[in-house]
Amino acid sequence: MKKLRISFLAVGILFFLIVGDSIVGAQTTQTIKMGAILDFTGPLAHKGPLYKNGIVKALEEVNYTIAGRKIELIPEDTGGTANSSLEKARKLAERDNVHIIIGPIMGDAQMAIAPYIAGKKVICTSLNCGLRDLIKYKNWFIYPTTTETLTIPVGYFAADLGYKTMITGGADYAGGHIFIAAIKNGFEEKGGKVVQQIWYPVGNVDFSSYLSSFKKADCFAYFVEVASGTQRLISQYHEFGIKVPLLGTHISNQLVEKVLANIGDICVGLKGQAHYIPTSQTPLNQKWVKEMINRFGQMPGADEQSTYAITQALLTALKSTNGDDSFDKLWPALSKVKMESPQGLLSVSPEGVAITDNYIVEVKKREGKYYLDPIKTYRQVMDPTLKK
Amino acid sequence: MGDWFVINILNGLSYGMVLFLLASGMSMVLGAMGIVNLAHGSIYMVGAYVGWTVAVELGATFGLGLLAGGLSAGLLGLVIERGLLRKLYKRENEQALLTIGFMYVLGNLCDWIWGGWPRMAFTAKFLKGFFEMFGLVYPKARLAVIIIGLVFATGLWWLQDRTRMGAAVRAGMDDKETAMGLGINLDRGFAIVFFISSFIAGLAGVIGAQLMGVHNNLGHEVLLLALIVLIVGGVGSIQGALLGGILIGIIDAFGKALFPDLAMFTMYFAMVIVLLIRPVGLLGRKI
CATH number, domain with residue A263: 3.40.50.2300
- Residue B119, chain A, CB below 8 Å: the answer is yes
Nearest neighbour of B257 by CB, restricted to A46, A212, A235:
A212
pLDDT at B131: 83
Tell whether A264 is covered by a domain. yes
Tell whether A269 is covered by a domain. yes
- According to DSSP, the residues that pair with A219 across neighbouring strands are A166
- Residue B216, chain A, CB below 8 Å: the answer is yes
Which of left, alpha, beta for A42 (phi over 0: left; psi -120 to 50: alpha)?
A: left
> Which of B128, B211, B252 to mutate against chain A (most A CBs within 10 Å)?
B211
Nearest neighbour of B213 by CB, restricted to A172, A204, A232:
A232
- Residue B251, chain A, CB below 8 Å: the answer is no
- Residue A240, chain B, CB below 8 Å: the answer is yes
Better pLDDT: A316 or B4: A316
- Residue B127, chain A, CB below 8 Å: the answer is no
- Residue A43, chain B, CB below 8 Å: the answer is yes
Q: Which class for A78: exposed (0-12), middle (13-18), buried (19 or more C-beta within 10 A)?
A: buried
pLDDT at B42: 95
- Stated pTM of the model: 0.82
pLDDT at B173: 65
Task: Please report residues of B whose CB lies closer than 8 A to that of A263.
Answer: 120
User: Averaged over B171-177, what is the pLDDT?
Assistant: 69
The Cα of B68 is separated from the nearest Cα of chain A by a number of Å equal to 21
- Residue A45, chain B, CB below 8 Å: the answer is yes
Tell whether B285 is covered by a domain. no
Q: Please give the tally of structural domains in chain B.
A: 1
pLDDT at A24: 45
Q: Please give the tally of structural domains in chain A.
A: 1
Tell whether B283 is covered by a domain. no
Residues B93-140: tens digit of each pLDDT: 898 999 999 999 999 899 889 987 888 888 888 888 888 877 788 899
User: Averaged over B256-260, what is the pLDDT?
Assistant: 84
pLDDT at A13: 63
Tell whether A235 is covered by a domain. yes
pLDDT at B160: 79
Task: Please report residues of B whose CB lies closer than 8 A to that of A203.
Answer: 217, 221
Is B256 a residue whose pLDDT tops 70? Answer: yes
Range of the domain at B253: 2-277
Task: Please report residues of B whose CB lies closer than 8 A to that of A210.
Answer: 256-257, 260
pLDDT at A185: 95
The Cα of B286 is separated from the nearest Cα of chain A by a number of Å equal to 32
Exposure b/e, B82-105, CB count within 10 A at least 16 = b: eeebeebeeeeeebeebbeebbee
Question: CB-based contacts of B224: which residues, under 8 Å, 6+ apart?
Answer: B41
Tell whether B286 is covered by a domain. no
The Cα of B124 is separated from the nearest Cα of chain A by a number of Å equal to 14
Tell whether A164 is covered by a domain. yes
Could you read off the pLDDT tens digit of each residue along chain A, which spans 388 residues?
666 666 666 665 665 554 444 444 444 458 999 999 999 987 788 899 999 999 999 999 999 999 999 999 999 999 888 999 999 999 999 999 999 999 999 888 999 999 999 999 999 999 999 999 999 999 999 999 999 999 999 999 999 999 999 999 999 988 899 999 999 999 999 999 999 999 998 888 889 889 988 999 999 999 999 888 999 899 899 888 899 999 999 998 888 888 888 888 999 999 999 999 999 999 999 999 999 999 999 989 999 999 999 999 999 999 999 999 999 999 999 999 999 999 999 999 999 999 999 999 999 999 999 999 999 999 999 898 886 5
Tell whether B212 is covered by a domain. yes
Nearest neighbour of B253 by CB, restricted to A209, A241, A264:
A209
pLDDT at A149: 94
CB–CB contact B117 A227 (8 Å)? yes
- Residue B270, chain A, CB below 8 Å: the answer is no
Tell whether B287 is covered by a domain. no
Q: Is the dihedral of CA B28, B34, B40, B41 positive or negative?
A: positive
The CATH number linked to B182 is: 1.10.3470
CB–CB contact B11 A41 (8 Å)? no
CB B194 within 8 A of CB B77: yes
ipTM attached to this prediction: 0.77
pLDDT at A16: 52
Residues B28-42: tens digit of each pLDDT: 888 877 888 999 999
Residues B179-230: tens digit of each pLDDT: 777 777 777 888 888 999 999 999 999 999 998 889 888 888 889 889 999 9
Nearest CA in chain A to B56: A262
Tell whether A127 is covered by a domain. no
Range of the domain at A211: 149-278+357-381
pLDDT at A3: 64
The Cα of A116 is separated from the nearest Cα of chain B by a number of Å equal to 30
CB–CB contact B260 A198 (8 Å)? yes
3-state DSSP of chain A: CHHHHHHHHHHHHHHHHHHHHHHHHHHHCCEEEEEEEECCCCCCCCCHHHHHHHHHHHHHHCCCEECCEEEEEEEEECCCCHHHHHHHHHHHHHHCCCCEEEECCCHHHHHHHHHHHHHCCCEEECCCCECHHHHHHCCEEECCCEHHHHCHHHHHHHHHCCCCEEEEEEECCHHHHHHHHHHHHHHHHCCCEEEEEEEECCCCCCCHHHHCCCCCCCEEEEECCCHHHHHHHHHHHHHCCCCCCEEECCHHHHCCHHHHHHHCHHHCCCEEEECCCCCCCCHHHHHHHHHHHHHHCCCCCHHHHHHHHHHHHHHHHHHHCCCCCCHHHHHHHHCCCEEEECCEEEEECCCCEEEEEEEEEEEEEECCEEEEEEEEEEEEECCCCCCC
**Which residues of A, range 217-236, sit inside 8 Å of B by Cβ?**
226-228, 231-232, 235-236
Nearest neighbour of B264 by CB, restricted to A42, A46, A172:
A172
